[in-house]
Chain A
Amino acid sequence: MSETLTRHARLASRPVSSRRRRRKLRRRRGLTALGFLSPALLIIAVFVLWPMVQALRTSFTDASLFGSSHWTGLSNYRKLISDPRFTNDLKNTAIYAVFTTVFSVGLALVLALALNQRMKGRGVFRAAFFFPFVASLSIASIAWAFMLDPQVGIVAAWLGRIGLPIGNGVRDPNWALPAVILVGIWRNVGFFMVMYLAGLQSIPAELKEAATVDGAGPIRRFTNVTWPLLSNTTMFVVMIAAIFSFQAFDQMYVMTSGGPFFRSETLVMLVYSTGFVDYRLGYASAISWVLVAIVLALSLIQLGFFARRTVRY
């Protein structure tokens, strides 16, 4: 009898002790995670968060490289609104972002679908499309500027021969922005393709087989199985593509220096030229913070949009 009681007591006490143990375990796990994360967190705090806070402070002053700076409140931000160069660059950045994001992601998906098939030379094609992402963009941009040069460029010559003249090439006010957009797409499409390939390969084959058995054709299989299951990848790729495009700098700097007459100048270029050519650090910091706010807002909107469409399986 007493033996049974003891057993009962033991049984009753078990959940309590196991809960405590679980909590302890969780705390220990949390500490371990923090331990692993702390080097990265430290680096981010020192090299990212601290400069960001400093830049925010600078954006409220008239700081230059030399001499004392004065607190000017919101004057830099107010000046931005009426600065035609800023609004022009904001427009350029928006156009650049929309076109590079849409086309690089769309093209990446098509390429990934194509290169996910069994075919000869698949590895070569995958590597070739990925290559621009690892090559130095500055050097690639010099090559592009040469190829698109209307007088000495090979691409310009081909296009001219088939009746598609590109005007004055990257120096043409109508072609400067499209040219840097083209390079932006060329640069990123391989990276997004690899992301999509990874996404495609993580889709269980039996789902597609089941759809095939149910009589779905290739298009139905794509719209009803593949595309929904790729939504996590699409979210990641679209967000990264948007962020990349807001930070575009290299190819404009190298190919057009933002010209002609600021037609291909983006916000990051404006930050550069205001901060590091004119040394108006206060104003440059204000532009940077506007850029941070735009990217942040856009990313939150995208997160909200995709969060409702995420599929778990």
Chain B
Amino acid sequence: MMKRLTGCAVMVAATSLMLSGCGGSSSSSSATTGSATSAGGATTAAATSTSGATSTSSASASTSTSASSASPSGQASSKAPQGGGPTTSITFWNSFTSSDKPAVEALVKQFNDSGQGVKVDMTVEPFDVLTQKLLPAYAAGQGPTITTLDASQVPGIASKGVLASVDDLYGSSGLDPKTLPAASLASTMWQGKQYGVPFAAAGTMLYYNKKIFAAAGITNPPTTMDELASDAVKTTKYTSGDQTKNTYGFIVPDHAAPATWAVLLNSMGGNVVSDDGKSSEFDSPGTVKAMDFWTNLIIKNHISPAGLGGVDTDNLFAAGKAAMYINGPWASSGFKTAGIDFGVVPVPAGSAMQTCTAVSSNMHLNAKASTAQKAAAYKFFKFWNSAASQTYWAIHSAYPPNLNTVPASAIAANPTSAAFLGAKGAKFYLPGIVNATQIDSNVVVPIIQKVTEGKGTPEQLLPDASKQITALLAGQ
């Protein structure tokens, strides 16, 4: 009897472990990851917005664009390029899985065909999958030569010593930092060294549904936060019970999207963490006041459901059930497909400042790259940030160009890109903080969800949350 019991116990333990392994591996999809604190996360999550099913299908697909097969002549990588000398192969991981993917692929192909003796072997994977794989890959010595990261991830990953500084890329023979997005460069500095090269940059803007505005008798989009709040109340149509007929005035995501709450707090003088990233301001009077203001509108006036993720907000806006929300340029293509008559304006000014979330995806070099790989990567960095490439990028993606030397007239073919040149006061959410992900997903998101569900007031919950943030800032 005892023997049978032990036998069964071992079997049970073995099965349980094996099954738990299965559970993990089968769920690599999904755009609803809690770890996607940042805009980069939203880039993948939100861009396939109109249906969750779309984001899964793109999530499950991981494409590897082999440059040699893409080149028209079918040139093998071992052949000498036009410039002479052998071809250097470098790997490039990024998470541009959705509507911007063709533009990235086309530019990489242009580069591989340009005869510079470099073959970029690109792997495109969803943001959360790439994030999960990256550090283990570096730890195993299998990391990519170049990877894109969201600016918020840089401190956490650079602090592990797996990225190489690219200080020597900027200078007389390289890229001119004055022509590139200052916020992107600033956010990829780590301990006094430059680690990033701009890949895609934009500020979030306010999307508004023109049809809902007209029906509510509003002629112009809001220019101040007070106007936004009153427009939100006017455009909200809410009945409890069957919520499928509701319209929401201003939907606010609290996770897996570019940080909208940080913008709302900043506009009224609040903040999550001080701008120097050193101390928590999550319980400051400005934060409490701003959170009270918007929470009231959400709970009492029902301008937004609570607990929305980035995909939820995209779906609501694409279904014509939301009058306004804040997001980056990638969302626009889904709304065009869905036939929504929408406009895009800068996020309105608040009582303290006019700001929006800076979305910045940058390229980073592997610390273990050889001299030849580094030279090859630098060629690609310069190619990507050339005037010709950036004009192509701005026309074929929804992003504005990285280079401020590209005139708006050159990208007039794509009004969305041109409009996003108008984003005002772009600020990074939690810049330069190693534990940024933990601060957001373990403290800020749950607190906002509690407050907006009416399970506590900012006055009650923020002091304790602020202590947790202080502990995480101290690296505990």
Answer yes or no: do A and B interact: yes
Docked-complex contact A142 and B305, CB < 8 angstroms: no
Chain A: number of interface residues, binned into ranges: 35 or more
A-B pairs with beta carbons under 8 Å apart, 13 shown: A48-B14, A150-B244, A151-B305, A157-B244, A171-B306, A249-B23, A249-B27, A250-B23, A254-B32, A260-B453, A261-B453, A304-B5, A307-B1
When each residue 139-182 of chain A gets 1 if its CB lies under 8 Å from chain B and 0 otherwise, what string results?
Answer: 10011011001111100110011010100100111000000000
Chain B: number of interface residues, binned into ranges: 35 or more
Docked-complex contact A168 and B305, CB < 8 angstroms: yes
Docked-complex contact A66 and B20, CB < 8 angstroms: no
Whole-angstrom CA separation of A37 from B447 in the bound complex: 53
Docked-complex contact A244 and B19, CB < 8 angstroms: yes
A-B contact count (CB 8 A): 178
Please give the distance in Å from A85's CB to the nearest CB on chain B: 8
Docked-complex contact A257 and B255, CB < 8 angstroms: yes
Residue of A156, A168, A172, A248 contacting most chain B CB atoms (<10 Å): A168
The residue that B24 contacts in the complex, of A160, A161, A272, with Cβ under 8 A, is A272
Contacts of A109 in B (CB 8 A): none
Q: Is A239 on the interface with B (CB-CB < 8 A)?
A: yes
Whole-angstrom CA separation of A157 from B136 in the bound complex: 44
User: 8 Å CB contacts to A: which residues of B295-346?
Assistant: 305-309, 312, 315-316, 319, 321
Docked-complex contact B27 and A152, CB < 8 angstroms: no
Contacts of B445 in A (CB 8 A): 259, 261
Please give the distance in Å from A143's CB to the nearest CB on chain B: 8
Answer whether A254 and B29 are a contact pair too, CB < 8 Å, given A160-B242, A292-B16.
yes
Docked-complex contact B9 and A138, CB < 8 angstroms: no
Docked-complex contact A257 and B321, CB < 8 angstroms: no
Contacts of A288 in B (CB 8 A): 20
User: 8 Å CB contacts to A: which residues of B431-463?
Assistant: 437-438, 441-442, 445-447, 449-450, 453, 455
Please give the distance in Å from B260's CB to the nearest CB on chain A: 16
Whole-angstrom CA separation of A151 from B161 in the bound complex: 46
Answer whether A260 and B160 are a contact pair too, CB < 8 Å, given A151-B243, A296-B9.
no
Q: Is A209 on the interface with B (CB-CB < 8 A)?
A: no
Which secondary structure dominates chain A's binding surface?
helix
Answer whether A152 and B321 are a contact pair too, CB < 8 Å, given A246-B16, A296-B13.
yes
Docked-complex contact B34 and A259, CB < 8 angstroms: yes
Please give the distance in Å from B41's CB to the nearest CB on chain A: 12
Q: Is B215 on the interface with A (CB-CB < 8 A)?
A: no
Please give the distance in Å from B150's CB to the nearest CB on chain A: 14
Report A's interface with B, CB cutoff 8 A: 44, 47-49, 51-52, 65-66, 85, 136-139, 142-143, 145-146, 149-153, 156-157, 160-161, 163, 165, 168, 171-173, 239, 243-244, 246-250, 253-262, 268, 272-273, 276-279, 288, 291-292, 295-296, 299-300, 303-304, 307
Docked-complex contact A257 and B34, CB < 8 angstroms: yes
Report B's interface with A, CB cutoff 8 A: 1, 5, 8-9, 12-20, 23-24, 26-27, 29-30, 32-35, 52-53, 56, 132, 135-136, 139, 160-162, 240-244, 246, 255-256, 305-309, 312, 315-316, 319, 321, 437-438, 441-442, 445-447, 449-450, 453, 455
Contacts of B135 in A (CB 8 A): 65-66, 279
Contacts of B241 in A (CB 8 A): 160, 163, 165
Docked-complex contact B52 and A142, CB < 8 angstroms: yes
Residue of A136, A254, A258, A307 contacting most chain B CB atoms (<10 Å): A254
Whole-angstrom CA separation of A172 from B240 in the bound complex: 14
Docked-complex contact A48 and B18, CB < 8 angstroms: yes
Docked-complex contact B449 and A259, CB < 8 angstroms: yes
Contacts of B139 in A (CB 8 A): 65-66
Residue on B nearest A66 in the bound complex, by CB: B160
Contacts of A171 in B (CB 8 A): 305-308, 312
Residue on A nearest B315 in the bound complex, by CB: A152
Contacts of B53 in A (CB 8 A): 142-143
Docked-complex contact B446 and A259, CB < 8 angstroms: yes
9 closest A-B pairs by beta carbon, nearest first, are: A160-B242, A171-B307, A261-B446, A257-B34, A260-B449, A299-B12, A249-B23, A150-B243, A250-B27
Please give the distance in Å from B97's CB to the nearest CB on chain A: 16
Residue on B nearest A44 in the bound complex, by CB: B14
Answer whether A151 and B449 are a contact pair too, CB < 8 Å, given A142-B56, A258-B34, A292-B13.
no
Docked-complex contact A48 and B17, CB < 8 angstroms: yes
Contacts of B16 in A (CB 8 A): 243, 246-247, 292, 295-296
Given contacts A168-B453, A247-B19, A257-B32, 18 further A-B contacts (CB under 8 A): A47-B18, A48-B17, A65-B135, A66-B135, A138-B26, A138-B30, A151-B305, A152-B316, A152-B319, A171-B305, A254-B30, A256-B32, A257-B255, A260-B446, A261-B450, A261-B455, A276-B132, A292-B13
Contacts of B453 in A (CB 8 A): 168, 172-173, 260-261
Answer whether A157 and B242 are a contact pair too, CB < 8 Å, given A138-B27, A152-B319, A249-B27.
yes
